[in-house]
Every structure is written in structure tokens, then in C-alpha cells.
Chain A
């Protein structure tokens, strides 16, 4: 099968070679996550028209749903094909780069690197080389139901762990069926707990590639969060199942949970489903320090793309100066440094401002090749077992061993 694969890949390469367009006006295939190209009038189409007019290249846009993006990229790239430019969840960059599927753009991106916020830029860097540039960024904050907070007799939204825990417990009322804070299960929950590890002064994997998952700070963070459910019953049962953001938001939208840790996508969801809910958005409470987790999408070039230069022009076009305006049309946050200036922030819709304002406290998740697996198989499972009663120290010790094994591979 080995030879078979090889020969068919070779044949495929010949076909692809014959089919490629002349170099002076390249045709680029661009894969983006579906929400960015949700209809014929999506802002991205106009933006690409402008790019085509300015550069002379043509761009073929293909929208891939987030759920299928990773698998489709894998299948296409295993078959020796794939888009020229692709939008990647920042958590996938390391795995693809490690396999040699992404083009190294370190040199080309050098002149514009200073235009980006450091956190999102770092999410596209693997083993010292830049493989992708940030298309948009996001992070999570604390969303609070003002009325429930006031009813619980608390004046201000929590700013540190002690206040968070106190507020959550105060808002919990078994008789009325209300809870303090809504949280996710498995991978969803894992994404929400990372900032707490950093807040505690802990780390997941440091720059040198060493695991700190078993450190006391990390354990303290997990213990703090898990006890809100296991001991104080301040989280609704959805913490056992919620595997998507709608399920995480549901208790909050129903005004059964007074707080939720979520990102800018929560705003429209809450407004749509509970138009009368009075809520406010605050930076995540501080532990030893302030921290949040960075998410978002990056743009990368496929190794082996027939027109890498045009591809980089496209990435440059979409990620730099014009990105504030373009992402503004989608109600998302640009990852450029220019977007973090007070003037730029003040131009954002009011509810978006807290997110951009705390962007500086954002940490990227570890950029290691097996991150997808660590996130699901290690941290997701760890969180699932901790909320079902496993002591945090035991679960984290086990997670630490698993992370070390994965890092050693």
C-alpha cells in the first residue's frame, strides 16, 4: 500500500502540476471557517474583491464548518492536496507545523510581526519559527447577571477568587434551583480552567517544554473550581455534560446561574435568547495575577502550495491594517496591536470593550505538537473525573504523567 500511496500521490502531483495557473496571476484557494463566509454578502467576499483588484491574483473561497475543518485538512493534506491558504484554530497550528504541513513564513513575516499583539502572534509560532499570523483573537471573561448578584446582596462583580467563590455560593439557592456559576464539561471545561491555572501563578507547559501540570499552583486552581461544584453545589449539573457553548450558556440564559465564563460570542447568544436579561462583563477574577486564555483563528500557508508568494500577500492583506475594520464587521476582535489602543477600544461596541481591554493578560495555550490530544484526552478527562469526585491532586498528578509522556514522543 506504501508504494500504491506513493505512486498515486505522484500521479496526483503531476495532474496538479499541469493544472496550475501561470505565476503572474495566481489563483489561490482559501479555506476559512464557515461563519466568516456564511452567505454571499459576508464581508469577506468584498474584502477578497478588493484584494483581487489590488494584487491581480484571484481567490477561490471555500467555507468549511469548524467541526469538520481539522478532519478535512488532515484528509486533504494526507492526500497531497489542500488549500493554499487556510484558517486554523490556533490550537491546531503546532500539530500541523510539526508534521511539516505548514510553510515556514518566519522571514516574510519579520517586517510585519511588530504589528500584532504578542499573545496571538505567539500562538502561530512553533519551535522558534512563525507558521501563521492571527486573523482574529478572542478570550474569555466573567459574565454576570446583575439582578441575581444584587439579590444575593453583593454590590460589585467579583474581582478575585475569594469574591468569586463568595458570590457563587451566595447566589446558590437549592430551593429556588439557582446556582452561582455555569461551567462546561470535558474539553469545554478544560478550556475554561486554563486561565485559572495561570491566575494561580501556575503554568501548563513552560517555554522550555517542561510540564508544570503537577505543580501546587495548578492543583490549587483545579481544586478551587471543582469544589464549587462538588462541595458548594454552586454549579448546575450541566457541568457534567455541557459540550458546547450553548449548553454552557443555557443555565445563565435561564437565570438559573448567576455567572458564566465565556467569550465575546456569548453576547449575541444571551441577547437573542434572553432579551431582558440584565448582564455585565468583567475581566476574569484575579488569583495571584490576572490572566485569561486566548482563542481565535490564524492564517497559514500550506507547504507545497504552488503560489506561496501570492498566498503570503493574501495573509498580509487580511491580517494587518485592514483587519480592525474587517473583523469589526463580524463583531470579532482584530489581533493587531493597533486594535488595543484606547481610541480603537472606545470605537468597539460597549460589551466588546472588556474583552479587548484584558487582551494583554491573555496567555496562548501551549504550542506543542500533541496539543489537541492533551486538551481532550488529558485535561478534558482530568476535569471530568475531578468534578465526579477524584481529588484534584491525584487527577493532576496523573495528567502530569500523561503530558510528560506526550511531550517525550
Chain B
């Protein structure tokens, strides 16, 4: 009784009380998501739809200019499948994605746990670990390229001094190491974002739960797996999905370091699409690759999220 009177008294003067019941209440969630949805429709739907549909038309520099782009069905896809680089790029994409996602999530979680505790100087360390992410991507990639260089690369110098290698190695010029050398840069660049997400999520884990677990004498690994992970699983799942998407669509790293070379050893589907689109000026083929990537991403993400949801429902 008392509660209700207090409620109504407080409610009346505030404008937001119209959302408490009736139509207002029903509209409330829609109003909150509306602006975001409008923007998404306005600036995402048209470009994506037009991007996908280009895959089924003959869109080259020549046809674009004449304004006459014939429908070609699946021919762009056939042309892509006939390119020997496509298979190579698909395999590389798989390696690239798995290595990046696993390493970034693992390292990101480790860093978040490391940075979670408030100790003297933590602000300094936290800001420091954010550095890779903050450096403008183009400059970061060129710096790494410079560090890997067989003539002046400091990475070579350090490895020689540590006794890991005998002489400067052309990391980006060796077909066996190029993809992995780029992957290292990409992990370096991508981990801080995961770290930040998980760090923010860790802050929301109630201390009491951790304390209770500690009192039960759970070891660190057990606590991590059975107490902390379930608490941050939503953020972890989101970090996984986002890392996945950002890795597949990470362009600067490979393009500015190797352009997919040498001899396609670091070609991924994205760089292949870029080559088709902006070196051969065949947007049809580029869109065909992009559409395949897009469909792959959509399926993988949807399945993953469904699995997570099923697990949550358990």
C-alpha cells in the first residue's frame, strides 16, 4: 500500500511516466531501438543489397560506364571457382581466422585477468596495453613491415641477439612464413579490444561470488572456468563473434604487408576480392567473393549464437 502511493506520487511529475502502462508501455522498447534500426536500414541495407546483387551482374569498368550491366547469373562465381588462387585463399582464410580468433581471445582473456586487479600503476599498464589498438592501422602495419624487413628490421636484430636465428630472415618474403608473420601483427593489433571488452565484463562480476568460490577453496583454473566464465559468457561470446568478423574483414594488415604474396602464400578471400575489384576492376567477381564471405560469416555466426543460446537455456 505504502509503496504504491509513493510510486504514484513520484511518477506523476516525470514525463517518462507515460511509458508505464497502456500504449506507452508497448511502444517503449520500440522507441528505444527505433533510431538505431532506422540508421541500420538507411545505411546498411541498400549498400549490402546492392553489393550482393552486383555478384550476379557483369559489373566492370567498361559496363559501369556504359550503364548497361547485363545479368549473368552465376558466371561470376564460376570465374572465381576457376581461379587457382581461390582455393589457396580459402585455405589461408581458414588458417588466418582460426589462429587470430583463438590467439586474440586467449591472450585477451589472460590480459584482462592480469589487468583486472587494482594495484599501483594499473592505469599505466592498462593504457599501455591499449597502445596497439590506438595506433592508426596504416602506420602500425607499416611499422611492422619495417620491423620484419630483411635489411633493417629490428625484429630480426632482436631474434639474432636472442640466438633464435642466425641471420636476418625475410619473414614476409618467405612463402612459409609470410602468412604467420602477418598473423602476429594482427594478433598484436586485435587483442587489446578483446581485453578491454572482457575487462569491462569482469568488472560486473559480483565480488561476493568470487569470494564465495575462494572460500570454498576452488583453485584458480576451476574458479576461472566454473565461476568467472559463466558470469562473463555473454561478453565472451560477443567478443568471439566480433573478433571473428573483424578478422575476416581485416584488410590493412595483409594488404599493406604482403598484398597476399609472395606467390599467394598469404592471400585471403578479402584480399582476393580487393584484387578483383580494384586492380582488375571487375566488381562482379569481387562481389561474388564478398558474397561468399558474407554468407559464410552469417551462417557461422548464426550457428554459433544459436549454440550459445541453447546452452544458456540449459
Which of B148-156, B192-200, B300-308 is found at the contact surface with chain A? B148-156
Chain A positions 71 through 103: 1 when the CB is less than 8 Å from some CB of chain B, otherwise 0: 100100110000000000000000110111100
Cα–Cα, bound, A2→B50 (Å): 9
Cα–Cα, bound, A384→B264 (Å): 10
Q: Does the CB pair B168–A237 fall under 8 Å?
A: yes
Cα–Cα, bound, A237→B170 (Å): 7
A391 within 8 A of B: no
Instruction: Point out the residue from A6, A370, A384 that lies within 8 Å of B261, measured CB to CB.
Output: A384
A247 within 8 A of B: yes
B277-295 CB contacts (< 8 Å) to partner A: 278-281, 283
Chain B facing A: main interface SS: loop
A74-B281, A238-B150, A251-B151 given; A100·B62 CB < 8 A: yes
Instruction: Point out the residue from B69, B71, B259, B262 that lies within 8 Å of A240, measured CB to CB.
Output: B262
User: How many residues does chain B have at the interface if contact means C-beta atoms less than 8 Å apart?
Assistant: 37
B150-199 CB contacts (< 8 Å) to partner A: 150-152, 168-170, 172-175
Which of B31-39, B53-61, B209-217 is found at the contact surface with chain A? B53-61
The residue in A98, A238, A254 that gathers the most chain B C-beta atoms within 10 A of its C-beta is A238
Chain A positions 227 through 262: 1 when the CB is less than 8 Å from some CB of chain B, otherwise 0: 000000000111111010001001100101000000
Instruction: Point out the residue from B65, B67, B278 that lies within 8 Å of A101, measured CB to CB.
Output: B65
Q: Which residues of A contact B175 (CB under 8 A)?
A: 388
B120 to chain A, nearest CB (A): 43
B135 within 8 A of A: no
Instruction: Point out the residue from B151, B174, B258, B281 that lies within 8 Å of A238, measured CB to CB.
Output: B151
Chain A facing B: main interface SS: helix
The residue in A1, A236, A372 that gathers the most chain B C-beta atoms within 10 A of its C-beta is A1
Q: Which residues of B contact A71 (CB under 8 A)?
A: 278
Q: Does the CB pair B65–A384 fall under 8 Å?
A: no
> How big is the A interface, by class?
35 or more
B41 within 8 A of A: no
Q: Does the CB pair A4–B50 fall under 8 Å?
A: yes
Instruction: Point out the residue from B57, B62, B173, B279 that lies within 8 Å of A372, measured CB to CB.
Output: B279
A1-B50, A6-B67, A238-B151 given; A243·B62 CB < 8 A: no
Instruction: Point out the residue from B69, B152, B174 that lies within 8 Å of A2, measured CB to CB.
Output: B69
Q: Which residues of A contact B61 (CB under 8 A)?
A: 74, 78, 95-96, 98-99, 101
Q: Which residues of B contact A95 (CB under 8 A)?
A: 61, 281
A376 within 8 A of B: yes
Q: Which residues of B contact A98 (CB under 8 A)?
A: 61-62
Q: Which residues of B contact A384 (CB under 8 A)?
A: 261-263
Q: Which residues of B contact A (CB under 8 A)?
A: 49-50, 53-54, 57, 60-62, 64-67, 69, 71, 148-152, 168-170, 172-175, 258-259, 261-263, 275, 278-281, 283
| Cross-chain pairs A/B with CB under 8 angstroms, 20 sampled | A1-B49, A2-B71, A4-B50, A6-B67, A74-B281, A78-B65, A96-B61, A101-B65, A237-B150, A237-B169, A237-B173, A241-B173, A243-B258, A247-B151, A251-B151, A372-B280, A376-B279, A377-B279, A380-B261, A384-B263
